[in-house]
Amino acid sequence: MVNGNYLNPRDIDFYLYEFLDTEALLERPRYADHSKEIFDATLNGAQDIAKKYFANHYAKGDDNEPTFDGVSVTMIPETQVAWNVAAEFGLMAAHHDASEGGLQLPEIICKAAGAYIQAANCASSGYYIVTASAGNLVRNFGSKRQKEHFLHPMMDGRFAGTMALSEPAQGSALADITTSAKLQSDGSYRIRGQKIYITNGDHNLTENIIHMVLAKIEGAPPGVRGISLFIVPKVLINEDGSLGRRNDVALAGLLHKMGNRTATSTVLHFGEREGAVGYLVGEPHQGLRYMFQMMNELRVGVGLGAAAIAYRGYQHSLQYARERPQGRLPSNKNPLTPQVKIIQHADVRRMLVAQKAIAEGSMALTLYAASLFEDSQTLPHASDKERAHSLLDLLTPVVKSFPARYGCVSNDLAIQVLGGSGYIRDYPVEQLYRDQRLNPIHEGTDGIHGIDLLGRKVFARRGDNFQLLMSEIRASLVDGADIRSVEHLISPINEALERVEHVTASLLERITADPDRGLSNASLYLDMFGHLVVAWIWFRQAVVAAKKLSCDVDECSEIDANFYHGKLQTASYFIKRELPKTSHEAKILEENDSICFDMQETFF
Amino acid sequence: MVNGNYLNPRDIDFYLYEFLDTEALLERPRYADHSKEIFDATLNGAQDIAKKYFANHYAKGDDNEPTFDGVSVTMIPETQVAWNVAAEFGLMAAHHDASEGGLQLPEIICKAAGAYIQAANCASSGYYIVTASAGNLVRNFGSKRQKEHFLHPMMDGRFAGTMALSEPAQGSALADITTSAKLQSDGSYRIRGQKIYITNGDHNLTENIIHMVLAKIEGAPPGVRGISLFIVPKVLINEDGSLGRRNDVALAGLLHKMGNRTATSTVLHFGEREGAVGYLVGEPHQGLRYMFQMMNELRVGVGLGAAAIAYRGYQHSLQYARERPQGRLPSNKNPLTPQVKIIQHADVRRMLVAQKAIAEGSMALTLYAASLFEDSQTLPHASDKERAHSLLDLLTPVVKSFPARYGCVSNDLAIQVLGGSGYIRDYPVEQLYRDQRLNPIHEGTDGIHGIDLLGRKVFARRGDNFQLLMSEIRASLVDGADIRSVEHLISPINEALERVEHVTASLLERITADPDRGLSNASLYLDMFGHLVVAWIWFRQAVVAAKKLSCDVDECSEIDANFYHGKLQTASYFIKRELPKTSHEAKILEENDSICFDMQETFF
């Protein structure tokens, strides 16, 4: 652990200022009043908050999950303190314009600052993340009055927000939601229905909770085309913005999770009595389109959180491996010689490299995604904005699912490095393992993201976005072509890229002809595609590292040199040892293997 | 769930009577008084016990882990009832000779019966499993008096047993244990030292606990050659067998685990006062050799338990997938049509087939291992016994580690099938996931088994055991050569087999020249080797299924036909989709890739 941080600040700075060019943002008009000092002060402040107010109750919040006595939810006081500190620091407002009461900080700085906090306490940090995201929805699609009544209190921490999509009878299949909305004479709606797995759906942190609810207006078209978005506050707001009476929103119960326990997961009943008062956001029947903004934002958030949890597990196991003596190398059979630290054992080193590859690869990927979002908002030219948006749109399934899925693998390895100690609650790695397991589920399972990627994203805009990504990857390979220490990595990536191109082309026809069969291996496609993307991310890191190492030796301290060598070695690991595994997936996809598809229900 | 069982009895019977030839055991003199009816009655009895006395407190024991008030350990009463029932049913005595008070049942029947119980409650069943294993150690190496005083009360459930190896300062590296033994004038020893992670090291289930302790007699040779085995009872036994005074064995504390909570994990202090009285088992300095019997037995036990947990998770998720409606197939965009059961979604089916492949493959593998143990004990000819022993010796690292490692993968998939429901404690799959995670750690981590397999087992007896296994696999392929429905599986296995042979040969020289580097990818070797073994196990199942299906249709009911088709399809899945993944591991091993080995500590 570097200075008590669960992320290595040297590494985070690498992503911001070497891997990405965050300083260049200062040239954009929006950030003219900022400076690198302000960025760094923000990051340092986040580190302090993470250590003092979030890390302090990571285990305690797990041991003492929120309770519900039928009237109100109770949680440990540290969660409240953390929320207050988050609000004071501006975590829900930092990215907003100064004219709207924000700090006007770039997305990438907000996300990097947040990564420290998510690593310190992924469960507790969820309160501000979801609230900020709900706020963005109101900002972008809400009316002026809605912003005054709901956005501003969410920005300053008086209110919290949620995203209320899933229902008991349909889960992820939004076409089938049954929550209804009925127009009233005053222009508001009455909402009736049940929502489940609503994260932070009730708690006692704030005086109000603003639910962003998907529902269908009576008479709306069937399916997703009939979905509208409503603001449904827990407590109604008077005209002057003061709190009014309780709305007809009831907590039916808390769900008890394996991990991520500081965050409540709830079953909410809307309108069991007189009907919950809801306010339509934007146009009727456009709710899913609006909500996709929040979903996509939270998908990147899940990726970042998953990266942070993996990163923390890696740091814990690295520290343990450096300190714990046990056994001797196979070449030494003399029991009278001292034991070695377990980092000396080849298999422990393998487990550490594998974690580093996942954790740092995921962190770099998610911060890159944040930079794309930034670019899509603040680049000067519309075509460049569009380009960044297109890449982010295509990459979102990977940004969400790779860190989540492989974060679980990484946290599994962290336990394994600690052995028996990893399995007991005296060490944090078992909690990280439990907390991480949520990430491949919420905001779309891997299965859903596979279908989203293969069934929609790669063929969107006639495949232009896909082609754009492929050309970006090729450009990076060209960038590294003359650098000796990375040239061995070019051909594995090139091979993987051609495999992905070939598989994608071959699947297009099949999906058109028979979507069920053509999409049946979509999860494998997502995995193959994700590996190519992360290999590219690692290659770009390796190129930066190689360039730094090739500079004048005096400019590169020994500590820095080791850091860069670590990047090169880990890039080699991921690209030479992990990436080629996807060639078998490509084969299955190319052959349109139907072993699973053809398995009959009666055969199980 | 078939009749409330967490294992499918049809499938267990398949392993016993179709995949293996358990009925043929009745021809062996030892089982002359038995019959298939007795075997089946035992299995039925185990199913009843599993349902009534073990499944009942699976969740409750997790919610209410044992507590220690400084004097004694308290646990939920259901654990005591389960222990009593286990004793009454004969779970600690079933395999012993009738002349010694046992039921003289074959190992494979005991293990299959135990599998039902382990699936119902893996944590609670550990008490009888470890006790039975400790008893076997006393039976095989203890004196007549030791058997009277310790074995018989362990067989009838008055006493429980433990295995006390690990110490705080050395973990798995037994060469460095420091627990000491000092000879007394009465022939007993005084034991002093600390042991950690001792499963079931203290509890209130029995009037006594018999610790099988590794310690070094003063003046013993250094390293593993100086280790002796001692019986150290919690309560001393008087000459007449009655209980005497408390021995100097103290519970220093309970360890709080992520899962497997009904089983205590303990820190024990031996001899903090006058010295704990211990009794030498067998010869001095032969302790590790003796203990390997218990370790190897428990390694198979871990494999079986891991298979049972994976199997149960698979059954839960299968049931959920059959019952839960959600969404529509990609080809159907009409929201007015009914939702489908999620088993209709291709990716859910993939996750179910993958679980079936792991769970049933692991179950077949561990029961095969039990049959090898049986054969090594009761085959008529010494050379056949030796042959079975050799195979089991070689396969033990795989039998332990494949079900454990891939059991975690399988239980992960079970959660994923349930989605959000899988993550909450209302459903059992999250507990299975936590409980399973212990298995890749205890009784030797995967890393240790990798080194054991590659550094010792495959080259033991000049590679004869390895050659024996390869010829067994080849013989199975020949057996299936004429069967149309399995012939497509032959070449993938053959290729994998040749890869394993080639890699093994190429590594022999390297390991001799540089053991540290040569063994540095041993975990990958274990994984590659394990996949070949499990592919072989699946092929053998497929051959049986294909033969049954090719018989007269009238003999094969529709239910049976579906069952056999499921075996064939799952064999195809494992052999065509999972096995080929190991070709990349083979490449890494062949190239003696050193990316991880060369990663310097300073690079992290």
Q: How far apart are CA A142 and CA A137, in angstroms?
A: 7
- Bridging pattern class, strands A189-199 and A265-270: antiparallel
* Per annotation, catalytic residue among A430, A443, A578, A585: A443
Predicted local distance difference test score (pLDDT) of residue B472? 98
Answer yes or no: is pLDDT of A376 > 70: yes
B492 and B474 share one domain: yes
The residue from A285, A303, A325 where one domain ends is A285
Question: Is A359 part of any domain?
Answer: no
Tell whether B371 is covered by a domain: no
Mutation target among B174, B225, B258 for the A interface, most CBs of A within 10 A: B258
Structure tokens belonging to residue A389: 């948006």
CB pairs under 8 A between A and B: 282
Q: Which of A3-7, B30-34, B503-507, B546-550 has the lowest mean pLDDT?
A: A3-7
Number of domains into which chain A is organized: 3
**Residues of chain A with C-beta less than 8 angstroms from the C-beta of B331:** 514-516
C-alpha to C-alpha distance for B417 and A264, rounded to whole angstroms: 22
Per the CB < 8 A criterion, the answer to whether B576 and A595 are in contact is yes
Three-state DSSP at A4 gives coil
pLDDT at B18 over 70: yes
The candidate with the shortest Cα–Cα distance to A560, out of B414, A128, A568, B85, is A568
CA distance A546 to chain B (A): 14
Which residue of B222, B517, B587 is in closest CB contact with A336? B222
Mean pLDDT of B529-552: 95
pLDDT value of position A44: 97
- In this structure, what token pair is assigned to residue A572? 């080699």
Q: What residues in B contact A258, CB-CB < 8 Å?
A: 423-425, 430, 433-434
Final residue belonging to a domain, choices A122, A154, A186:
A154
**pLDDT, tens digit, 9 for 90 and up, residues A314-335:** 999 999 999 999 999 999 999 9
pLDDT in tens, B286-300: 999 999 999 999 999
A595 and B572 in contact by Cβ < 8 A?
Answer: yes
Q: Is residue B70 part of a domain?
A: yes
Residue among A421, A365, A374, A398 nearest A537 (CA): A365
Q: Do A577 and B566 touch (CB under 8 A)?
A: no
Q: What is the pLDDT of residues A424-442, one digit of tens each?
A: 999 999 999 999 999 999 9
Other CB atoms within a 10 A radius of the CB of residue A59 amount to: 15
Confirm whether B294 is domain-assigned: no
Active site residues of B: 443
Q: What is the mean pLDDT of residues A580-587?
A: 95
**Is B396 within 8 Å of B369 (Cβ atoms)?**
yes
B185: which residues sit within 8 A by CB, 6+ positions away? none
Q: How many other CB atoms sit within 10 Å of the CB of residue B484?
A: 9
**How much is the mean pLDDT over chain B?**
96
Q: Closest by alpha carbon to A301, among A499, A489, A111?
A: A111
Residues B215, B193: contact at Cβ < 8 Å? yes
For residue B423, the distance in angstroms to the closest alpha carbon of chain A comes to 6
Q: What are the DSSP calls for B277-317, one per residue?
A: EEEE-SSTT-HHHHHHHHHHHHHHHHHHHHHHHHHHHHHHH
Q: Is residue B105 domain-shared with residue B126, that is, in the same domain?
A: yes
| Residues B170 and B123 occupy one common structural domain | no
Residue A535 confidence (pLDDT) above 80: yes
Give the mean pLDDT of A397-412.
98
Mean per-residue pLDDT of chain A: 96
Same domain, B23 and B42: yes
What pLDDT is recorded for position B551? 79
Beta bridge partners of A2: A5
The answer to whether the Cβ–Cβ distance between A516 and B330 falls below 8 Å is: yes
**Residue A521 clears pLDDT 80, i.e. is over it:** yes
Residues 6+ apart with CB under 8 A from B64: B75, B76
Residue A430 falls in the annotated catalytic set: no
Tokens 């930079």 belong to residue: A371
Q: Is A422 left (phi over 0), alpha (psi -120 to 50) or beta?
A: alpha
Q: Is the pLDDT of residue B554 over 80?
A: no
**Closest Cα in chain B to A597:** B346
CATH of residue A31: 1.10.540.10
What is the C-alpha separation between B491 and B489, in angstroms, rounded? 6
Give the Cα separation of B38 and A388 in Å (integer): 71
Q: Is B115 in contact with B43 (CB distance < 8 Å)?
A: no
Task: Specify whether B59 is located in the same domain as B147.
Answer: yes
Residues of chain B with pLDDT > 70, as a percent, come to 99
Residues A98 and A69 in one domain: yes
Residue A429: closest C-alpha in chain B: B258
Task: Classify residue A466: in a domain, yes or no.
Answer: yes
pLDDT band at A170 (very low <50, low <70, confident <90, very high): confident
Q: How confident is the model at residue A556 (pLDDT cuts 50, 70, 90)?
A: confident
The set of residues, in sequence order, having a beta carbon less than 8 Å from that of A586 and lying 6+ positions away, is A499, A500, A502, A503, A528
pLDDT tens digit sequence for A112-139: 999 999 999 999 999 999 999 999 999 9
Domain boundary among A236, A266, A285: A285
CA–CA separation, B101 and B314 (whole Å): 38
Q: A112 and A137 share a domain?
A: yes
With a pLDDT cut of 90, the percent of chain A lying above it is 97
Q: Would residue A438 count as lying in a domain? A: no
Is B261 a domain residue?
Answer: yes
Query: How would residue B403 be classed by pLDDT, with cut points 50, 70 and 90?
Result: very high
Q: Are residues B456 and B594 in the same domain?
A: yes
Q: Which of B331, B420, B562 sits opposite A441 (nearest CB)?
A: B420
Tell me the average pLDDT across A462-469. 97
B199 sits in which H/E element: strand B189-199
**CB-based contact B265 A424, cutoff 8 Å:** yes
> Does B584 contact A588 at a Cβ distance shorter than 8 Å?
no
CA-based nearest residue to A106, from A475, A438, A375? A375
The DSSP annotation for B500-567 comes to: HHHHHHHHHHHHHH-HHHHTTTHHHHHHHHHHHHHHHHHHHHHHHHHHHHHS-GGGS-HHHHHHHHHH
Chain A residues near residue B322 by CB distance under 8 angstroms: 601
Task: Indicate the length of chain A as a whole number.
Answer: 604
**Co-location of B192 and B131 in the same domain:** no
Sign of the dihedral through C-alpha A493, A495, A496, A500? positive
B585 and B500 both lie in a single domain: yes
- Chain A positions touching B343 (Cβ under 8 A) are 601, 604
Cα Rg of chain B, angstroms: 25
The answer on pLDDT for A254 being more than 80 is yes
Measure Cα distances from A526 to A157, A428, A573, A580 in Å. 37, 30, 21, 15
Could you report the per-residue pLDDT of B410-431, keeping only the tens digit for each? 999 999 999 999 999 999 999 9
pLDDT at site A551 = 79
Q: The domain containing residue B486 runs over which residues?
A: 445-598
A484 class by beta-carbon count within 10 Å (0-12 exposed, 13-18 middle, 19+ buried): exposed
List, for residues A67-99, the tens digit of each pLDDT value: 999 999 999 999 999 999 999 999 999 999 999
Residue A272 included in any domain: yes
pTM (2 d.p.):
0.98
Q: Where are the beta strands (DSSP E) in A94-246?
A: 159-164, 180-183, 189-199, 208-217, 227-233, 235-237, 243-246
- B600 contacts on A by Cβ (under 8 Å): 562, 565
Are A202 and A125 part of one and the same domain?
no
C-alpha torsion sign, points B40, B46, B51, B53: positive
Q: Cα–Cα–Cα angle for A27, A33, A39, nearest 5°? A: 80
CATH of the domain at A262: 2.40.110.20
> Tokens at residue A542, please?
């390796």
Q: In whole angstroms, give the CA distance from residue A590 to residue B41.
A: 50
Q: How far apart are CA A83 and CA A553, in angstroms?
A: 46
- Whether the predicted pLDDT of B553 surpasses 80: no
Of B173, B255, B346, the CB nearest to A424: B255
B125 contact partners, CB below 8 Å, separation of at least 6: B54, B82, B86, B114, B117, B118, B305
Using H for helix, E for strand and C for coil, what is the string for B201-226? CCCCCCCEEEEEEEEEECCCCCHHHH
Per-residue pLDDT for A10 more than 80?
yes
Same domain, A164 and A142: no
Work out whether the CA dihedral B165, B170, B175, B177 comes out positive or negative. Answer: negative
